[in-house]
Amino acid sequence: MTTRELHPAERVERVSGAEVHYWVYREDLAETGDPAAAAGSLRHVLPVGSIVPVGAAAPADPAAQVDRCAPADTVLMVHGLRGTHHGLELVAAGLPDQHVVIPDLPGFGDSGPMTERRHDVAGYAHVITELIERLGGRTRPIVLLGHSFGSIVAARVASANPELVRRLVLINAIATPALRGPHVVLSGLTSAYYTLGKRLPLRAGHSLLSNRWVVLAASRAMTRTKDKRLRGFIDESHLRYFSRFHSPALLSETFEASVTHTVADHADALRMPTLLIAGESDEIAPLAGQRALAARLADAELVVIPDVGHLVHYETPGPAAEAIQRFLGAP
């Protein structure tokens, strides 16, 4: 196993009162459309300190795979609840032919909270729409990717502004309501946990919601791999980034949005080609719901990755990236 560094350029935009930090990967591709221009320092890359998951293929030589005259797609990725841009870097590393942009959603990671909108699906969709427009999406539509809660936000953006989104990729898409079905009790307990964190004094609430053992328990409940090194990497990543939220109140507001909305809310308006990448044993976004969602969409492909749950972006980023590359190359 090897480690490699990504060297993204950090940018900041002010949207809805928030300083939104985002990272641009393979920036040269945006300027030249030539994957060979950015290949030297960014070939076979992974985030600092990360490991190559077992079974994940190293990115192929970009200059050999893509016509140099073909402009690279801009792929904007939206992370899930309590995530940051770091969580999607493994997938970005597997897309050497694409110009990738990953923001920290307002109130998470390095991005400040919104002052003009709520931290819900509509608020985040507004921010992502603004960012797409500032990235030139009105001139050249982008590829929009969302993971987990980010899939709901991405679906809202694509349904309301289809002219901005050429193709849609949803990883571990939230297709069924969390407050109904077999996991309703667990969802209710989690909701109570976030509500308690919001009602406690600020320091106590933050301490409760970022408790090391609670974070580790959540990490291990979602992890399916038996590889000890990969499990350790996932635990470390969650401990490092899972608690980078602005406040308990903001986190509670976003959590409530995540369990009261689904991608299915927007399914009938999604007419662009859509790729669904599902984990075979995902309990948060069950496979049955993914199949039902795919059947509702006008132009959808469902890829099911075996032996993985809700952490496709950590456990099987190689197969996920391969599916995305193939999808983007399809006519």
Matching CATH number, 9-178+262-329, of 3.30.70.1730, 3.40.50.300, 3.90.25.10, 3.40.50.1820? 3.40.50.1820
Q: What is the pLDDT of residues 3-21, one digit of tens each?
A: 345 688 999 999 999 999 9
pLDDT of residue 138 exceeding 60, the answer is yes
Least confident of 18-32, 41-55, 59-73, 211-225: 41-55
Structure confidence at residue 48 (pLDDT): 30
Please, which residues have CB within 8 angstroms of residue 226's CB and are 6 or more apart in sequence?
Answer: none
Write out the H or E segment, with its range, that includes residue 229.
Answer: helix 228-241
Structure confidence at residue 194 (pLDDT): 85
Question: Averaged over 267-272, what is the pLDDT?
Answer: 96
pLDDT of residue 111 exceeding 50, the answer is yes
Q: What is the pLDDT of residues 139-191, one digit of tens each?
A: 999 999 999 999 999 999 999 999 999 999 999 999 998 655 556 556 667 87
For all residues of the chain together, what is the average pLDDT? 85
List C-alpha distances in Å: 93 to 63, 137, 139, 171, 206: 15, 22, 26, 16, 32
DSSP codes of every residue in 307-319: T--S-HHHH-HHH
Higher-confidence position of 298 and 37: 298
Question: Is-contact 164 142, C-beta < 8 A?
Answer: yes
Structure confidence at residue 54 (pLDDT): 32
Phi/psi of residue 321, nearest 5 degrees: -65, -40
Radius of gyration of the chain (CA): 19
Q: What is the pLDDT of residues 54-103, one digit of tens each?
A: 333 434 444 444 343 456 889 999 999 999 999 999 999 999 989 999 99
For the ranges 34-43, 98-107, 183-192, the maximum mean pLDDT occurs at 98-107
Phi-psi region of 148 (alpha: psi -120 to 50; beta: other; left: phi over 0): left
What span, in angstroms and rounded, lies between the C-alpha atoms of 320 and 262? Answer: 21
pLDDT of residue 269 exceeding 80, the answer is yes
Structure confidence at residue 184 (pLDDT): 57
| Domain segments of the chain as ranges | 9-178+262-329
What span, in angstroms and rounded, lies between the C-alpha atoms of 242 and 240? Answer: 6
| pLDDT grade for 51, boundaries at 50, 70 and 90 | very low
Q: What is the pLDDT of residues 223-246, one digit of tens each?
A: 999 999 999 999 999 999 999 999
pLDDT of residue 287 exceeding 80, the answer is yes
Structure confidence at residue 153 (pLDDT): 98
Question: Averaged over 270-299, what is the pLDDT?
Answer: 96
